[in-house]
Structure formats: C-alpha cells, structure tokens
Amino acid sequence: MDTFVTIVQLAIAAAVINNFVLHYFVGICSFLGVSRRIDMALGMGLAVTFVMAIAGLLSWVFTYYLLRPFAPLPAWVWHMVGGDPGVTIDLSVLSYILYIFVIAASVQFVEMYIRKFFPGLYKAFGIYLPLITTNCAILFACLEIMKQLQDPTRLWGLGEALTLSIFGGLGYTLAIVLMAGIREEMDRCDVPRSLRGPGISLIVAGILAMAFMGFAGVDRAIETTFTVLMKK
C-alpha cells in the first residue's frame, strides 16, 4: 500500500506539479515547433512518451547495474581481476555518453516502428521525429533517474523509474496538446505584429505555467487522504 501511494504521488508530481515543459523548461523546442495543430501535437506527445518510457527503462537498467557507485557488474569484474576490495568503482563519468546512445537507439526503434505501422503519421512528423533524439525532455528523464540512483541507501526501483518517465511523458503530452488547442484558437486573434509567432506562444506558455503552479501540494494532499483512509 505504501508503495502504491508513493507511485501515485510520483506520477502526479511528474505529470502536473513539476511538469517537464512548464516547470523544468525541457523540450521547449518541440513544444513551440510542433504545437500548431492538436492532432500533430498529440502524436508528437505520444511518440515522446513512448521513447521516454523505453529510454527510462534502459537507462535505469544501465545505471543500476553498471554506472552507479557500488554497481554490481563493475564490482564483480573488479573482483575477478583481483582488484583491491576497498576501492569503489564509480563509472558515472560515462553516463552522459551512454544515455545518448540509449536515446538514439530508442528513437531509431520508434522511427522504424512508426514507419512500418503508421506511414501517414511518419510523413506528418517529417524532421521532428529524428529530432526527438535531441529532445531535452528525454535526457532530462534519464538524468533524474540517475540522480535517484546515486545514493546507495535509498535506491529507486524500476517501478519508480518507469513511473517518472511515463508520467513525465504524459505531462509533456498534456502541455503540448493544451498549447496546440490555444494556438488554434489564437489564429483568429489580433496579436500585435511584433509578438506574432513565438513571442505570443511564450507568453501563453507563461500563463499555462502559472495555472500549473496551482497544482502545488496536491501530492501531499493525496498522502494525507490515503493515511486517513487507511486508519478507517
């Protein structure tokens, strides 16, 4: 039950409270670039969520077994070659390079999948699909997972890592779809000429961010509710 509450809290925190786009400012490029029409925004959001889930899974596996301090695999190799047991092997210096490989591979996989099964969507994405590789949001999810695996006393399990990446991706989808909806309406508005295009989009994003600030504290409220329910 405790785990369940933690997961729910984590999911809500990742999706709305600390929304990747509106709170951490990652993935702004695609947020401004692909948010012209709702259907494209939804497709892009789901593709990012999918890549993020795969990349989150892989980066958790690599970080847990290979990269973190006290990771089992390098420690075993160190033991086999007869190294000094007092030395801790810390390969986290390699993590950024490895994450880039993981993300590039996941994007390649998603690209192949979409090209095979959804050719229409593949054409609609165009250049933006390979550009997911350089989408900050995905690397950000990997880095958050890495941060939680640095301290050996309380490690994140695979469940937490997957929750963060999937719900982070859904939060990104939510933000980009909301933005696309607003921008479709804004086509009919009389925007000052200098602000047209990215300027007004950024200001609208600011208002959205302000609205999302209202979610602060929801995770604690959920915890309290669950504790009260458990007592009954």
Does position 207 bind other proteins by CB under 8 A?
Answer: yes
Which residue, 84 or 190, is less far from other proteins as judged by CB? Answer: 190
Half-sphere exposure of 201 (CA within 13 A, CB side): 21
Write each residue from 13 to 32 as x if it is in contact with other proteins (CB under 8 A), else as -, in one continuous string: ---------xxxxxxxx--x
CB 40 within 8 A of CB 118: no
Does position 135 bind other proteins by CB under 8 A?
Answer: yes
Which residue, 41 or 107, is less far from other proteins as judged by CB? Answer: 107
CB 98 within 8 A of CB 67: yes
Half-sphere exposure of 229 (CA within 13 A, CB side): 9
Q: Using CB under 8 A, which of the segments 46-54, 75-83, 113-121, 135-143 binds other proteins?
A: 135-143
Does position 214 bind other proteins by CB under 8 A?
Answer: no
DSSP state of 189: S
Report the alpha-carbon angle 101-106-109, nearest 5: 125
The residue type at 173? T
Structure tokens at 222: 């959920």
DSSP state of 126: G
Per CB under 8 A, the list member of 158, 206, 220, 221 interacting with other proteins is: 206
Which residue, 93 or 189, is less far from other proteins as judged by CB? Answer: 93
Which residue, 135 or 173, is less far from other proteins as judged by CB? Answer: 135
Nearest to 59 by CA among 94, 111, 19: 94
Which residue, 118 or 140, is less far from other proteins as judged by CB? Answer: 140
Which residue, 107 or 177, is less far from other proteins as judged by CB? Answer: 107
The residue type at 83? G
At 121, is the secondary structure helix, strand, or coil? helix
Instruction: Quote the strand ranges of the chain, DSSP E.
Output: none
Write each residue from 86 to 125 as x if it is in contact with other proteins (CB under 8 A), else as -, in one continuous string: -------x--xx--xx--x---------------------
Given the rule CB under 8 A, which residues bind other proteins? 22-29, 32, 93, 96-97, 100-101, 104, 130, 133-136, 139-140, 143-144, 147, 192-195, 198-203, 205-207, 209-210, 213
